[in-house]
Amino acid sequence: MGRPKELSRDRLLEAAQSIIAQSSPATLSFGILAAVANVPKSSVQAIFRSKQELLDALLDRASDAERSRFEARAGPDASIAAKVRAHIAITASEDAQAQSRIAALLAGMAGAGDRSEVATQWCSERVGDLSASTGEEARLRLAFLASEGLFFLRHVLQFPVSDTLWREIFGDIEAMTGEAGLPPQ
């Protein structure tokens, strides 16, 4: 095996993402990652001490990218309504392959106690505590839950939802928020 010019954490994460995109987090191992990245297994182990650390890094990377898109869309000091609308818009427009990778990582992380706190924080940033004291807040809550439910059906349960149906349902969900017109894809 030839020695690569430069081994970076990002290069290994890219290779790991491609492995997961083709199968699942369960198939990811240091040996397979080393083979795909064309590096010795010991090089992978030097960067990631465990498979859990590698999965955490992948999830953090995906979360950071998603958070950047969310914050750019919602804007600074956004209201809960603006946050829910931003969440729905980015979920609707995210490419299916990226969402499937995120879903696979989340499924692979299920049961990891320390990661559930991250997921709880992520949700709280978007919808607070899910309480609603007005009709608008109740509609926003339902729209958020509907978007997460559709994501779960399509990407975790692998329920067949075509891109056309995905956009149609997200149009319905967006209409619940009082704001229509998802950006075209």
Reference 87, options 18, 167, 177; nearest CA is: 177
Domain boundaries, the chain: 76-176
pLDDT of residue 184: 41
Q: Are 174 and 89 in contact (CB under 8 A)?
A: yes
Q: What is the pTM of this model?
A: 0.76
Cα→Cα distances 180→75, 93, 126, 168, 173, Å: 18, 14, 19, 12, 9
Q: Are 51 and 93 in contact (CB under 8 A)?
A: no
Q: Are 151 and 140 in contact (CB under 8 A)?
A: no
Tens-binned pLDDT, residue by residue, of the chain (185 aa):
455 445 788 899 989 888 887 777 778 899 999 999 999 999 999 999 998 888 888 888 888 888 888 899 999 889 989 999 999 998 898 777 677 667 766 665 655 555 667 778 888 888 889 999 999 999 999 999 999 999 889 888 889 999 999 999 999 999 999 865 544 44
pLDDT tens-digit map of 52-89: 888 888 888 888 888 888 899 999 889 989 999 999 99
Tokens standing for 40? Answer: 């010795």
